Amino acid sequence: MFAALDRLPALGPVTGEPTFSVYNPSTGALLAELPDMGVAHTRAAIEKAHAAQAEWAALTARDRSDVLWRWHQLIVNHTDDLAAILTAEMGKPLAEAKSEVSHAAAYLQWYAEEANRIYGETISAPSTDRRMLVIKQPIGVVGTITPWNFPASMVARKISPALAAGCAIVLKPAEQTPLVAGAMFALAEVAGFPDGVINLVYASEGADVGLELCTHPMVRKISFTGSTEVGRLLMRQCSDQVKKLALELGGNAPFIVFDDADIDAAVDGAIQAKFRNGGQTCVSANRLYIQSGVHDEFAEKFVERVRQLSVGDGFDPGVAIGPLIDTRALAKIEAHIADALEKGGTIRCGGERIVADGTFFAPTVLTDITSTMRVAQEETFGPLAAIIHFEDAEQVVREANDTIYGLAAYFYASNLKRVWRVAEALEYGMVGINTGRMSSEAAPFGGIKQSGIGREGSRHGLEDYLEMKYLCMGGI
């Protein structure tokens, strides 16, 4: 099962260098010791990327596309190995890991295609002796930092548009889940990226590497996915150089079910939007608002489905929910439940750890939740669904928008007028209408308000790595 681990690059520490350990969150088993590369390696990686960037950008779009295609194909061919590594280091069920690897490959495919679709513009000049046009050029070296919850697809989603645009990259994966990134980079080497175009930095924590990426003048853009708190810090660190930033940060997604919704479809959607990846996604439904006419029916059917979700080691067949990433995550869920119960919430199922010493938590449903409870205000990031009863459609939209976040929202309704009005009124970067799942390489993923800056996926994702240059030709 772990044959793929033997083929990882740089798995053994360089003698004398500091190292850090990667563990399987399901079993606690040690998976690998990696070199803790730190600032000096990061600086060297930035310089290598800088040296390689101009030549990479000077290739034809078709040539860059060909390398991305080869990488895509290699990832597809190694899906089983990559998924096994992912499940081992992150814990998610193997079927979800395979689907994540396919999603990662899909980004590479999309941007291999999109590399060929970089267009400029000509403008009708206001005088006859001038010609005016716009060309697009790669932004330069991009520093990227990825989180542990989607350790394969985040890597692909961030770096494939940058590479397609002609940027060179330095990537620091999350310290909990660096192995699948390492395996993907090993495949990238086989795909034939020129030396220095893609660079991986393993590190036991983010702060030093992050500061170096933000303050090194050769890095022109930072692309980060993670907590809002770290996103704010990176923004501050980038401000002295007015460095560009792409940020995908936290969310607090509302999931609204109106009286005219198809309840069975809404229950299906809520299971997906809440429990995919054990609720550890930034687009996870965090607040389930259910209108009074369908509240009891929805709650009953939903709880029934949640009871059937089996929790365990991601390698065990039939497991729907793996472990939480660490004990800090566990403590947050427990704190949210305790706070809710103290303020009048009711546990309908779950509510406790599965085994005393692991990080497995029973999928939990709470009802009688109000907006003053922590569970309604903060991103839980775990298998805890909080149901809030509502009466009035306008009021629910106001409550849904009453947050600093603006990443994803979902709602179920059938009345066409309501569908349009609510979709337009929700202050979110993405709105799922009668669906609990909307991530796709073809769509612009990203948030407004304090959920982020920029978009990943689609043609808009490519634009984020291109600078616009206006050329004005006179004397014609």
Annotated catalytic residue within 96, 248, 379, 399: 248
For residue 375, give both structure tokens. Answer: 């569970």
Nearer to ligand ADP, 319 or 329 (CB): 329
210: contact with ligand ADP by CB under 6 A: yes
Q: How far is CA 13 from CA 36, 200, 318, in A?
A: 8, 15, 36
Report residue 305: phi and psi, to 5°: -70, -40
331: contact with ligand ADP by CB under 6 A: no
Nearer to ligand ADP, 48 or 172 (CB): 172
CB of 328 to ligand ADP, least distance (A): 8
Strand pairing report for 408-412 and 253-257? parallel
Tell which positions 259-278 bind ligand ADP, by CB under 6 A: none
Tell which positions 44-83 bind ligand ADP, by CB under 6 A: none
Q: Which range, of 34-42, 98-106, 144-152, 464-472, touches ligand ADP by CB under 6 A?
A: 144-152
CB of 144 to ligand ADP, least distance (A): 10
Q: DSSP of 352-412, one letter per residue? A: SBSSTTSS-B--EEEES--TTSHHHHS---SSEEEEEEE--HHHHHHHHH-SSEESEEEEE
For residue 237, give both structure tokens. Answer: 């660190």
Nearer to ligand ADP, 53 or 146 (CB): 146
Nearer to ligand ADP, 145 or 365 (CB): 145
CB of 215 to ligand ADP, least distance (A): 11
Nearer to ligand ADP, 145 or 164 (CB): 145
Q: How many residues does the chain have?
A: 476
Q: What would the x/- binding string for ligand ADP be over residues 340 to 369, using CB under 6 A? A: ------------------------------
Q: What would the x/- binding string for ligand ADP be over residues 225 to 254, using CB under 6 A? A: -xx--x--x---------------------
Nearest by Cα to 216 from 281, 142, 289: 142
Q: How far is CA 330 from CA 26, 168, 241, 362, 389, in A?
A: 13, 38, 38, 11, 26
Q: How far is CA 101 from CA 2, 113, 314, 381, in A?
A: 16, 19, 15, 21
Nearer to ligand ADP, 105 or 145 (CB): 145
Q: Which range, of 41-49, 96-104, 143-151, 281-289, touches ligand ADP by CB under 6 A?
A: 143-151
CB of 280 to ligand ADP, least distance (A): 9
Nearer to ligand ADP, 36 or 463 (CB): 36
Q: DSSP of 190-223, one letter per residue? A: HHTPPTTSEEE---S-SHHHHHHHHH-TTEEEEE
CB of 151 to ligand ADP, least distance (A): 9
CB of 200 to ligand ADP, least distance (A): 12
Residue with tokens 């303020």: 343
Strand pairing report for 219-225 and 141-145? parallel
39: contact with ligand ADP by CB under 6 A: no
Residue with tokens 């997604």: 253
First CA to last CA distance, the chain: 68
DSSP state of 14: P
Q: In what order do the strands lie in the sheet with 452-453?
A: 198-200, 169-172, 141-145, 219-225, 244-248, 452-453
CA distance 39 to 236: 19
147: contact with ligand ADP by CB under 6 A: yes
The question of whether 248 is a catalytic residue gets the answer yes
**β partners of residue 432:** 410
10 Å CB burial of residue 197 (0-12, 13-18, 19+) is buried
Q: What would the x/- binding string for ligand ADP be over residues 189 to 208, using CB under 6 A? A: ----------------xxx-
Nearer to ligand ADP, 233 or 423 (CB): 233
20 three-state secondary structure: strand
CB of 230 to ligand ADP, least distance (A): 4
Strand pairing report for 19-23 and 364-367? unpaired
> Which of 175, 262, 339, 427 is the binder for ligand ADP (CB under 6 A)?
175
Q: Which range, of 41-49, 168-176, 313-321, 367-375, touches ligand ADP by CB under 6 A?
A: 168-176
174: contact with ligand ADP by CB under 6 A: yes
Annotated catalytic residue within 96, 100, 282, 379: 282
The question of whether 282 is a catalytic residue gets the answer yes
CA distance 269 to 102: 21
> Which residues participate in catalysis according to the annotation?
248, 282
User: Which residues lie near ligand ADP (CB under 6 A)?
Assistant: 145-148, 172, 174-175, 205-207, 210, 226-227, 230, 233
